[in-house]
Copies of this chain bind each other. A is one copy, B any other.
Amino acid sequence: MLIGELAEHAGTSARTLRYYESRGLLRADRSSNGYRTYDAAEVRVVREIRALLAVGFALDDIRPFVACLRAGNASGDVCPDSVAVLRRKLAEVDAAVARLGEVREQLRTQLTHAITHREETCTPQRPSCWSQ
């Protein structure tokens, strides 16, 4: 399988696949003319990468999952390194949710405050209130 075919099967671009290779996530054999040649199994690997990226993983985080798949496991998740990354990411997501929750509260407070004070200060008698 050439790189264009792999890209199409996996739903991405050849450029992207070369980038993954440069980052150590993909490997390719080369045929005599220098073209990259892929085994059909690489489709799964690329799909795994895309799926994890979509969830918010960085390429460096994804390496263990790829190694796990390559080791012959049915899923990239089951190896200890992958589990460690999953745990870490879960913690990060929890932290992000918490922070966003605080931001949300602050925004709500600001909005309430703004609407309240608009009654007092933004009147046709005081047009300087309007920013435009």
Contact = CB atoms under 8 A, between A and B. Distances in A.
Nearest to A108: B90
Chain A contact residues: helix, strand, loop or mixed: helix
B79 A131 contact: yes
Contacts of A108: 90
Contact of A100 (B67, B81, B97, B111): B97
B111 A104 contact: no
Identical subunits present: 2
Interface residues of A, number: 46
Interface in A49-89: 55-56, 64, 67-68, 71-75, 77-83, 86-87, 89
Interface of A: 55-56, 64, 67-68, 71-75, 77-83, 86-87, 89-90, 93-94, 96-97, 100-101, 103-104, 106-108, 110-111, 113-115, 117-118, 121-122, 128-132
22 contacts: A64-B131, A67-B131, A71-B130, A74-B117, A75-B113, A77-B113, A77-B117, A78-B114, A78-B118, A78-B121, A79-B129, A80-B130, A83-B115, A83-B118, A86-B107, A86-B110, A86-B114, A94-B104, A96-B100, A97-B100, A97-B104, A100-B100
